[in-house]
Amino acid sequence: MHNESLIQENMLVTLRSRFFTLQVTSLLQAPQSISPKNPLLSLSHKLQMFETPKFILHYCNHASFATKGSKPGPVSETKKFIEKVLFVPPGVGPEEVTDDLILPGSNIVLGPYAGDAKIKEVEFVKSSNRPKDCPKDDRPEFAMLGRSNVGKSSLINALVRKKEVALTSKKPGKTQLINHFLVNRSWYIVDLPGYGFANAPEAARMDWSAFTKGYFLNRETLVSVLLLVDASVPPQKIDLDCANWLGRNNIPMTLVFTKCDKIKGGKAKRPGENIRDFQQLIRENYKRHPPWIMTSSMTGLGRDELLLHLSQLRNYWNNE
């Protein structure tokens, strides 16, 4: 029995590695596509350009951990693998997951709640210096959080395809307030103060923890936190601490890896290696891996896929 368990664990580790390698390698090598007006058609078009992890289907149909005298159990092991490694949204059962439903460069499965992800208009609503001063309507919102030099404002500008919607600066710690941006008059992108900034005023550094945590713990319209992680550098303790705090407080989170286009010289690790290292550390505290996706504000990598992910979370929230 011990040998059988060891074989199972080794095979699952191999599968996870293959899944990640296929996603990252195919994504970084694929050419950019031209998105048609329909976002779902855009997804279908893109999937034809990316090599998706077909080994999952092979695994579902053929893998078996059975030994002599025992009953084969590929379906149950496959289900465990899918539930632990992939983000399966509401409306999709593990047995329904196929390789073409997995968004490229992510572990996110596309479900029936995915809808129109096109951003038609965006407007700045207000800046709040306290959570209780935030807009008091029932529109769903997604909060962007990360270290102050992670590229948070650049990602917001890339998502809405308008320059300077969010304030960008080469000086970390520029965002000091809770900034609400209304998208399509129906949902919010919320730009939160960055953490770990060294150049912000002393008072702002001291107030950040209570200021931001109060927003997370008391904001009923918060659908999910988009935790931005710089893929061009090795895993940072402050990012891991933030992810673990969100997990302990049962706050939904999506890991958004930024700067996936940047490859530093010398012996520095590539973005794919840094992402893999970060995920290995995350798995130590999460029974099920949070959704994650690779992005680049410079190339547009992951933009359409992230918007589709937000649409299915938002539509499910609206229909609860």
Domain holding 62, by residue range, is: 3-101
Q: Could you tell me the pLDDT band of residue 2, with boundaries at 50, 70 and 90?
A: low
Same domain for 167 and 87: no
Candidate from 40-49, 114-123, 217-226 with smallest mean pLDDT:
40-49
Same domain, 137 and 61: no
Residue 91 domain flag: yes
Domain count, the chain: 2
pLDDT number for residue 106: 95
Contact (Cβ atoms closer than 8 angstroms) between residue 77 and residue 65: yes
Do 151 and 36 fall into the same domain?
no
Are 305 and 161 in a shared domain?
Answer: yes
Identify whether 7 is part of a domain.
yes
Q: Which of the four pLDDT bands, split at 50, 70 and 90, describes residue 44?
A: very low
pTM: 0.75
Quote the tokens at residue 209.
């923890």
* Arithmetic mean of pLDDT, 101-123: 93
Q: How far apart are CA 72 and CA 305, in angstroms?
A: 36
As to burial, measured by CB atoms within 10 angstroms (0-12 exposed, 13-18 middle, 19+ buried), residue 209 is exposed
For the segment 19-33, the average pLDDT, to the nearest whole number, is 45
Q: Is residue 106 part of a domain?
A: no
Rounded Cα gap, residues 58 and 15, in angstroms: 11
Residue 31 located in a structural domain: yes
Provide φ and ψ at 38, rounded to 5°. -80, 120
Angle at 166 between CA 163 and CA 171, to 5 degrees: 105
pLDDT the model gives residue 221: 96
CB-based contact 263:222 (threshold 8 Å): no
**Same domain? 7 vs 79:** yes
pLDDT attached to residue 208: 52
- Do 187 and 289 fall into the same domain? yes
% the chain with pLDDT above 90 = 48
d(CA 183, CA 164): 15
pLDDT band of 61, cuts 50, 70, 90 = very low
Position 183 in a domain: yes
Same domain membership, residue 201 and residue 87: no
CATH code (residue 218): 3.40.50.300
Cβ atoms of 233 and 189 within 8 Å: the answer is no
Tokens of 11: 């095979």
Task: Report the first-to-last Cα separation within the chain, whole angstroms.
Answer: 44
Q: How confident is the model at residue 209 (pLDDT cuts 50, 70, 90)?
A: low
Q: Could you report the per-residue pLDDT of 245-274, keeping only the tens digit for each?
A: 999 999 999 999 999 998 766 666 889 999
Looking at per-residue pLDDT, the higher value among 178 and 14 belongs to 178
Per-residue pLDDT at 34 exceeds 50: no
Q: How confident is the model at residue 153 (pLDDT cuts 50, 70, 90)?
A: confident
